[in-house]
Structures are given as structure tokens and as C-alpha cells.
Structure 1
């Protein structure tokens, strides 16, 4: 599965920009919670989310919006989003670390396969790592903003909530790659602790994790740029 870097194009004016971003956020939310969600759709979601953040940043940097954002009430909400942006960056870092560990676990599965060893230990390690990655999301509180905030702040909050949900969904999908009987990389034999690994499927999983790493890295860089723009707006 090839991962292609693209960004959602931003409409030319704020009037046409806002509805388009809202539609993209709504579609992303639907995709995340869909029972048919896959790693492919998640990679696509990360790419679209990176583009959405770019559009929000462009809106935030418009002189007319900067004037409204620096007003007392909006400034308070903007400062709150600035603090939450650090939580989001830390979460992206943690997820990237989890991806690295999962790739190493898949590589260990491949080695066991080539040696003809019982891979049950490696399978359990992979499942444990993927579930451990999911636990970190329980510590994250999704804090929405009130309807009194300006649209730019509300869009930032909506994008933040969807980002957390998408990253959480990603870790869940990686866990299911092993656990689901029909689509699993590991198929059980008659003995419970005995597994038969298919190298081609393990290679596909390794590539998928790599694609997800790329997507989260691009998102991470965009979030840093957004944070810089936030700081610039607050200091103006």
C-alpha cells in the first residue's frame, strides 16, 4: 500500500472555506466510527486531517480573523487550545513510538516463521503491545468548546477531537489485524497455542504500519506549524 502525500485544497475565501472543512470533518468522523474502517481508510483519514489543519491555519492567519481572535473572550479560548495542542503533539509522539515497537514485533514474527518456530509468544507480544497503545487514550480528555466561540476556534476543537479518535481507532485496527479470525495474519491450528504465520500477510502488515507512521509524522509536522501560528496570533 503506497502512501502519497497530499493536502486538501483550501477554498479561496473564508465564506466558502468553512463549510468545506466542516463537511470534511463530518465525513472523517463517519469513517472513523464505521464498522468497515480499515488501515487503508485510516491512512487516507490522516492525509485528509493534515489538509484540514492546513486550511484551519490559513483561516487563522487571515487579518480579519486575527482581529476577532485577539478579542478577550476568543483569546482565552485560543490560549486553551494552545495548551491542548501540546497534549496532541505528545500523543502523536507516543503513537509513533508504539508503531515502532509493533513493527519490531512483526519482524520477530517473520523471523520465527522462517525458522519454523512456534510463533505464539511473538503473537501474544504483538497483541499486548497493540492493546497497551490503546490504553494511553484513556488518559486523554476530549474537551469541546462552547458555541459562543468563533468558528476558527470551534473548528480547531472539532479537528482535535477527531484527531484523538482517529489515532485511537488506528491502534484498535492494528490489534484486530491479529485477533480477527477471517482477516487475521495468524491462523490457529488445532492446538490453542499453536499459530501458523503467513509471510506475505505479515509483510503487508509491516508496510501498513509504515504507512501509518508516515501519516502520523506528516500530521505531527502540521500540528507544530499550527502551534506556531497560534503563538504568533496570540503575540500579535
Structure 2
């Protein structure tokens, strides 16, 4: 009796080296601790960028395009496209938050360079703090959207879409860490028992501890301390903190913009595969 073998329309049974590399990078990012410093966050952004670069190469493979173009995978692929659109929206919110914080930081630095005393400076610092409230409000909304999206994620039996799901989840985690970092630690625990003074003392105490370093939050804490005291001695410290914050923001902006471009490219490729 003749035997008939069904031809698989998914990836070949022998795993492609590119797929193995992606899964290895995915596992590395999954096992890494949540980014809580600018340096660790930068490393995670670079890791996700590398993932999306590999995704672009994966999407060029004929076997990948064949798997994604199957009718039974269409719903899953469309869900991935919807997810990528939501993640891109979150990226835009993060970019806006960084840009607004950077512009306010630069403006305050300019004012500090022009003024020799503290007269009127407290009101300018308060303007910065007010702008940060608006930034944090937008970030809080974006974080809620991310959490809601993560809770709705489904699994896939197709190897290609399963890999894309994994990359989507890791990207969400890194963006969540980024947004939390930009917003600052006080937004993570509104029921904190520490007042502003004790927070500032704690931040100074752990300045050498990489796991607690947050240049944006440090600058904000110093500003709050200055508003309370209006002590001229704090001005130099404030200038240093603002410089550190601006440098940190610049690095995060570059990493986020690079990730954004790679995600756009992958999305366009998937759309082209569906429309073929």
C-alpha cells in the first residue's frame, strides 16, 4: 500500500540558524532583570533592536513568507499587526515624554546659566515639575494600555508567529521598563512612606548602587529639594543633575528611535506578505 506524506507549509523541521539565534536572544532578554538604570535599560533597548533586526532577516526567508501567507494563519498575523500598531503608539508616547522632559531640562539649564542668584528660580523649577506631571499622566495611561494588551495576548501553534509573539512580549516588557524609568520611582509606589527629603537622602546614599540610579528622577528630586529650601548651595548640584539627566535622555531617545524604525520596517514587510 502506497504511503502518502503531507507536505508541511510551516518552517522546515530542521531549524534555521537565524531562528535559533532569535530564540537564544529572546531567552537572554527574558532571563535578564527588569531594567532599573539608564545603562541596563540601554542594554535592553539594544537587545530588542538586535531582535527586530533578526526579525527583518527572518521575514525575508521564503519559508517564513510561506508560513505567514497561509489562510489559517491570517487571523494570528492580523493580531500581530494590531499589536505592533499599539506598541508603535506606546513608542510615540515614550518619545514624546522624553522630548518634553529634555526640552524642559534644556530650558531650565539655560535659565540657570543666565541667573546668578536664586530669585525667581523657584518658579521656573515649579514649571518644570508641572510639566513632569503631564508627562507622568501620559505615561500612566500608556502603561495601563500595555498591561491590558499583555493580558490579552494569545499563543500560536505556528513556529513563525510564535517567535513573533515572543518578540512582541519582550518588546512590551522593555517599553514598560522605559516608561517606568522616565516617570520615576514615585509613580511606581504612590503609597511610599518616604517624604521628599528622605527620598533625596536615599538617592544620594545609593548613588553608587547601579540598581537604584535614575538620572531623571535624581534631577527631579533635587529640584523638589531646592523648591523647599531655595538655598543657593543647591544650584550647582541642580546644574550637574540636569546635565546628567539630559545626557541620559539623549541616549534613551536614540535607542528608542532606532527600535521604532526597525519595528516600522518589520510591520511593512508583514503587510506586504499578507497582500501578496
Residue 146 (1) aligns with residue 155 (2): yes
How many residues are aligned here?
A: 221
Structure 1 gaps, min length 5: 1-12
Contact 1:70/1:234 (CA < 8 Å) preserved in 2? yes
Q: Which runs of 4+ in 1 moved over 6 A?
A: none
Shift of 1:151: 2.0
Deviations 1:169-193 (A, max 9, x none): 1122233389853242343659846
- 1:203 offset after TM fit, Å? 0.9
The residue correspondences of 1:1-236 to structure 2 (distance < 5 A) are: 14-31=15-32, 33=34, 37-114=36-113, 115=115, 116=118, 117-118=121-122, 120-122=125-127, 124-125=129-130, 127-135=132-140, 136-140=142-146, 141-142=149-150, 143-148=152-157, 150-176=158-184, 181=200, 182=203, 183=207, 184-185=218-219, 186-187=221-222, 192=228, 194=230, 196-197=234-235, 198-236=238-276
Distance in 1 between residues matched to 2:34 and 2:62, nearest whole Å: 36
Alpha-carbon deviations, 1:126-166, whole Å to 9, x = none?
54244224212212312433242x22212222222222221
Please identify the structure whose Cα radius of gyration is greater. Answer: 2
SS at match of 2:153: coil
Structure 1 19/163 Cα, relative in aligned 2: closer, same or farther at 3 Å? same
Confirm or deny: 8 A CA contact 1:32 1:165 kept in the other structure. Answer: no
TM-score by length of 1: 0.80
Question: What is the distance in 1 between the residues matched to 2:245 and 2:74?
Answer: 44
TM-score (norm 2): 0.69
- 8 Å contact kept, 1:109–1:122: no
Greater Cα shift, 162-171 or 201-210? 162-171
